[in-house]
Structure 1
Amino acid sequence: MIEMPSLQFAQTNGIRMGYYEAGPKSDTPPVILCHGWPELAFSWRHQIKALSEAGIRVIAPDQRGYGATDRPEAIEDYDIEHLTGDLVGLLDHLEISKAIFVGHDWGGFIVWQMPLRHLDRTAGVVGINTPHMDRAPADPIELFRMRFGDQMYIVQFQDPAREPDRIFGSRVEQTFDAFMRKPVPRSDTAPADKPVAGVGASPRLNLAFPQMIAGYDAKHDPRTPILSPEEKKVFVDTFTKTGFTGGINWYRNMSRNWQRSGWLDHTVRVPSLMIMAENDHVLPPSAADGMEKLVPDLEKYLVRDSGHWTQQEKPDEVSAKLIEWRKKRFG
């Protein structure tokens, strides 16, 4: 039995956003849970239950381009200014002055931007797998192309013909079968875990995800699924309806985000927690080395024996750490 609160809607920043809320409305500051690609608010189902039962107010949106939330046509409507602005608008809708923002994967990239762009609305930040990094020295798409070649999935995502969107959209169940699994020790035959935008991976990893999905057969995959059939159905049914273009449009703004961020001070000036996953092959714990220079008030925590989908692979441990840190830092 999957437990999720009832779906609600907010008008925010020019779109209608679907979100889920649980826990006492009197609790402050509340926790906003921000998912990655290709995910949904549903990815936080375990944390929504655990945090709300611990007396913490928790809110998990389907973000712009995903699930129950609007999917604008224009690519530039998915830049970091829009994505962070959506969260500010959600706070306005709920009449919340400040929140703790928790993000995994692409959601992690967004939540680390919140105290840089909206410090007055940000009480704290938690990154799960995704570290905070300084501005790249050059356009990140060009850096990816130089390091990994044209087949690297983020480079492929820039394709104006949207071939990756078509490949994923025509193989939705294959996509989630391939991605949502526990890792095995690296070998030449195991599919790569899905990496996160903006962070370097090992050149050994197979990052040609559209082609990997096109040739994928679950019968030959030795890795253990992390979703029950009922849970997988939620993702498959949702993305069958919405397609993948909304989420991929976040990647299509990486050059724009880089060009428009030269003015930002990248120092994070709020209490912060970095949760790392021991076996995330693309975002290893070492990706967070040196974060303290940019995040002076930082605690780090390592989740052992977890791959990329940490809050779903090790839900009890992640929830317990979030509750412990939230109560220690905010009462």
Structure 2
Amino acid sequence: MNRNADFPAPTLISLGNSHLEVFEAGRENRGNPILLCHGWPELAYSWRHQIPALAAAGYHVIVPNQRGYGNSSRPAKVEDYDIAHLTGDLAALLDHFGYEAATFVGHDWGANVVWSMALLHPARVTRIINLALPYQPRTPVPWIEFMESVFGPNNYFVHFNRQPGVADAVLDAHTDCFLRNLFRKNQPPAPPEPGMMINLATAAAPAGDPVMSDADLAVFIAAFEQTGFTASINWYRNMDRNWHILAEVDPIVRQPALMIYGAHDMIPPSENLADFVPNVEVLSLDSGHWIQQEKPEETTRAILDWLAVRQTA
């Protein structure tokens, strides 16, 4: 991994039946943990701009490559990527470090895991900062069925589930092109295309500007060329299983929370976020979807400022 020189070296941590590749900073700040959870198709490296600033501000920063990513466990069974396993990994990571609870920060799919962490392991979460993806209330029918009825069969969530292996093969065959075309900013507004992920993997001329340098992009390309995309896409293939897992869980997130939107993200702000997250504050940055990489200084400042006035949950 030819990462930024300031990025921490990894440690492979055994969690019993799985292991996670974890990057740490600020070990001298033990007792003040903050866990950063990446999205898809990203890595712990997506937090490279925030890690040193959080450590300098007094936090023990713990950033895993989550299950299915990098050198972390990549089990073969689809159901091993459900929300019980994903949040269970984070709870086990707290146990490993001897922490009862921590502040959690998530982006994209990582935000979904953090919201679910607050539902399934509420005592382990003191504060929440999520980027891009607001809390997703349970739909009247399972999520993929609901999304298919609204967006049609070629929506990538639906496609990943209804045509297993098809998108995986295309992305694996065009890893460089896919990631180069996906990590863009300043894109003209447009509705999502049917099969957008496959289209991006084969598009010759992406819209907008690169989010990151070629050197940083190379870190992501090398990782997914090594692992392929199936394990990470399996997170999507558990959407309906997650819908059932959360059926009997109290749906209210009671911890203090900060929701950071990208003003130009195709994911719209939630209209009823405060109904499910009553202690939430909302901030919008002049950004697309890849908020903490596109606007690193602004994101870091927003996180530190919010944490500074909420020293206790």
Q: TM-score, normalised by structure 1?
A: 0.90
Q: Which amino acid aligns with 1:294?
A: F
* Structure 1 residues 221 and 210: CA distance shift in structure 2, 3 A: closer
1:288 to partner: Cα distance: 2.3
Q: Is this contact kept in 1: 2:177–2:202, CA < 8 A?
A: no
Corresponding residue for residue 302 of structure 1: 284
Which residue of structure 1 lines up, in the alignment, with residue 220 of structure 2? 235
Structure 1 residue 268 and structure 2 residue 221: aligned?
Answer: no
Counterparts of residues 151-300 of structure 1 (less than 5 Å): 151-159=154-162, 161-187=164-190, 204-217=191-204, 220-281=205-266, 283-284=267-268, 287-300=269-282
Structure 1 unmatched runs, 5+ = 188-203
Structure 1 consecutive aligned stretches of length 4 or more whose deviation exceeds 3 Å: 24-29
Matched ranges for 1:61-76 at <5 A = 61-76=64-79
**Cα deviation, residue 296, structure 1:** 1.5
Alignment-mate amino acid for residue 202 of structure 2: G
Please give the secondary structure, in 2, of the residue aligned with 1:206. coil
- How far residue 320 of structure 1 moved from its aligned partner, in angstroms, is 0.8
Contact 1:29 1:123 in 2 (8 A): no
Q: How far does residue 297 in structure 1 lie from its aligned partner after superposition?
A: 1.2
| Residue segments in structure 2 that go unaligned for 5+ positions in a row | none
Once the two structures are aligned, what percentage of the paired residues are identical?
39
* 2:109 alignment partner in structure 1: 106
What is the match of residue 313 of structure 1?
294
Determine the C-alpha separation between the residues in 1 that align with 2:149 and 2:138: 18
1:16 Cα deviation from its structure 2 partner:
1.0
SS of the residue corresponding to residue 64 of structure 1 reads coil
Q: Find the counterpart in structure 2 of residue 41 from structure 1.
A: 44
User: Of 318, 322, 328, which aligns to 2:303?
Assistant: 322
Q: Secondary structure at the match of 2:261?
A: strand
Q: Which moved more, 1:67-76 or 1:208-217?
A: 208-217
Which residue number in structure 2 is paired with residue 3 of structure 1? 6
Work out the CA distance in 1 between the residues paired with 2:254 and 2:308: 19
Q: Which moved more, 1:117-126 or 1:237-246?
A: 117-126
The residue aligned with 1:201 is none
Q: In structure 2, do the counterparts of structure 1 residues 269 and 238 end up closer, same or farther at CA, with 3 Å as the change threshold?
A: same
What is the one-letter code of the residue matched to 2:67? Answer: R
CA contact (8 A) 1:30 1:99 kept: yes
Alpha-carbon RMSD = 1.5
Is the CA contact (8 Å cut-off) linking 2:37 and 2:44 kept in structure 1?
yes
SS at match of 1:227: coil
Contact 2:200 2:206 (C-alpha < 8 Å) held by counterparts: no
Q: TM-score when scaled to structure 2?
A: 0.95
Deviation track 1:45-104 (CA, whole Å, cap 9, x = no partner) reads 001121112222211100000012010011000000000000000011111111011110
Per the alignment, do residues 41 and 214 of structure 1 end up closer, same or farther by CA in structure 2, a change over 3 Å counting?
closer
The 1-side partners of 2:165 and 2:52 are apart by 37
2:119 to 99, 116, 121: 116
CA gap of 1:97–1:321, structure 2 versus 1, over 3 A, is same
Provide the secondary structure at the position in 1 that maps to 2:189: coil
1: CA distance between counterparts of 2:42 and 2:195?
19
Report the equivalent of 2:53: 50
Residue 15 (structure 2) aligns with: 12
Contact 1:13-1:85 within 8 A present in 2 as well: no
How far the C-alpha of 1:222 sits from its partner, in A, is: 4.0
| The 10-residue stretch of structure 1 (232-241 or 2-11) with the greater mean CA deviation from structure 2 | 2-11
Determine if contact 1:13/1:82 at 8 Å carries over to the other structure.
no
Contact 2:119–2:249 (CA under 8 A) maintained in structure 1: yes
